[in-house]
Every structure is written in C-alpha cells, then in structure tokens.
Amino acid sequence: MNLKNLKLEFFHIRKAFLVYGHGWAYLYYRYIVAPKIFRLKTPLDRPINYSDLSVHILTCHRDLLMFIWSLASFYRHGEMIGQVVVHNDGSLTAADQRLIKRLFPSVAIYQTSDFLKDYQSNFNNYQILNDFRANYKKFSFKKLIDPYFVSTKSFRLVIDSDLFWFGPPIIIKQALDSSDDKSLMQQNNIPIYVSFKDGSRVADYLAQANSGIVFYRQESFDLEKLAEFLTKLDTKVEKNLYFADQLGYAYSLKNLSFLPPEIYPIKSPWTNEISIKHYTGPRRSLFYVEGVKRLAKEILNIK
C-alpha cells in the first residue's frame, strides 16, 4: 500500500471512530471478515439470463476488495444478469485479474489501455471523443465513453464498484423489460454542476444526476449530444473533468429519469426499503459496516 492509499485508509478509520461511532466494527469487517472472500473456492457468478444486456464496471487495484464484494452482491440480488465487463483502469495486476476470473469466471476483463487502438475507427464522425479519451486519463472519460463502444448489446448497465445490492432492482428490471426507451440514473443528494467555456453551466435538472448507476438502450445514448457536451466543457476547471461522466451521461441520454433516492440512496440511514446503496468516498467505511455485515453470511456461506 503506497503512502497515498495509507493516508486514505487512516482517513476512513478515523471517520469510522469519530463520525460514525463504529470504529471497531469497521476494523473487524474491513480487515477480518471482508478478506475471506478472496479464499472462496466456489465461483460467485450466475448464468446470464438477459442475453442482450451488458453490465460495465470500471475498477482499480486499490478498490479490489470492495469491487469483489460489490459484484458478489450484484450476482446475489441483481436478478437481471447480463454479460459483465470489468474495465481495468490500468492498475489491476495480473494476480488481481486471475482472482476476479476465479471468483467470477463468466466476466470479461477489458483493458482500457487498448480502447483507442480497438475503437479509433469508430470515431470518424466524433473526433472529439477520441481527443478526450486520448488526452485526459481520468476515470470519468473511460466510464463515460468506453461502455458504449465495447458492448454490442442493446442495453447497457454501467455501475460503480462501491454499490451494495441488498435486494432486487425492480425499477431497473422494469425498464429493461419495457418497450419504453427510458434511461435511468441515480439521483444526487445535492446538485453538482459543471461549467462550460461560455460561462454557463448544465441545467438544474441534469445537475441532480449521479453515475453510480446508469441504465440505457444503445439508441438512447446520443453521441451528437455527447460531442456537444465535450465541446462546450471548460476543461481548465478540474471539477469539470472529475464529474464529466455523470453530467456527460445526463446531458446525452434521451428520456432520462432518476431512480427514487429512498430505494437507491447515496446518503441515508438504513431502511429495509433499500435495494441498492451507493457508498461514495466520504461514506466508504459504511460499505463494510452495513454492507459486508449484512451479506457476509450468505455470500461467504457462513453457517
């Protein structure tokens, strides 16, 4: 663990003790219970039951433990199982990838470093997509651009590796089964804006979008709108680059609706109504205290 990651882990430990009051529980579930998933002998994936759906997760070496728990909970409670594509941000080691394939044999691992080589010819009419993907190394552009081109399926589900799936995602499944062309995203607790070169910013409604969960049909992702968004984006502001994925999706998706935050929350007390909870960076310790604690018995097969 490098110094940066060590400081981050001390931040989570300190917050677990001083803010949430569950420091000892965090240490137990983070360092004793959660790593047991690495030693499982039985695969955790399930057969594909939606052949025209692809599920995309961008992850990294630092988040490997959390990612594996998140994906295990998806297979446990997701119900609609498509082809899962794990996008390696470039930091997953060969050992990491062997572990992922052992626990989830059916997943495909895509090397994001190959993206421009593999799909550059697809950008003939959208050179700006190529330019952003080539010039900006942040995760946001890999998450925003890659799933559309890497998949040949009609439906895409793009999910973060810090989600915990506690129950069936009924609303997402309804959208998948419906003939409507509805697109879905999570809803932020507070609006998050990005600014454009002319001094304007995204509309208030779009600023509610969070890309922890993104569901869309291929034809509902408007590449013309995405190219327009990237052309207008003020790249001199670091925040704009960081949040480009969620605002880029919101700007480009047709017929966008937000998932109800009481069922698909980012920040809320635990309730039995929750289907999927998004444990963003500031609340990462809760991923282990709430998520691992609740699902450890069924995922680890602890009697």
pLDDT tens series, the chain, 303 aa: 677 878 888 888 889 888 888 999 999 999 999 999 999 999 999 999 999 999 999 999 999 999 999 999 999 999 999 999 999 999 999 999 999 999 999 999 999 999 999 998 898 889 999 999 999 988 999 999 999 999 999 999 999 999 999 999 999 999 999 988 999 999 999 999 999 999 999 999 999 999 999 999 999 999 999 999 999 999 999 999 999 999 999 999 999 999 999 999 998 888 999 999 999 988 899 999 999 999 999 999 864
How far is Cα 237 from Cα 194, in angstroms, rounded to an integer? Answer: 9
Q: Maximum distance among all alpha carbons in the chain? A: 60
DSSP 236-265: TSHHHHHTHHHHHHHHHBSSEEEPPTTTS-
What's the token pair of residue 128?
A: 């700006």
The DSSP 8-state label assigned to residue 196 in this structure reads: B
CATH code: domain of residue 215: 3.90.550
**By CB neighbour count within 10 A (0-12 exposed, 13-18 middle, 19+ buried), where does 136 fall?**
middle
3-state helix, strand, coil in the chain (%, to 5): 50, 15, 35
Count of domains forming the chain = 1
In terms of residue numbers, what domain contains 294?
Answer: 3-300
Residue 66 · residue 287 · CB < 8 Å? yes
Residue 104 · residue 75 · CB < 8 Å? yes
What's the token pair of residue 149?
A: 């081109």
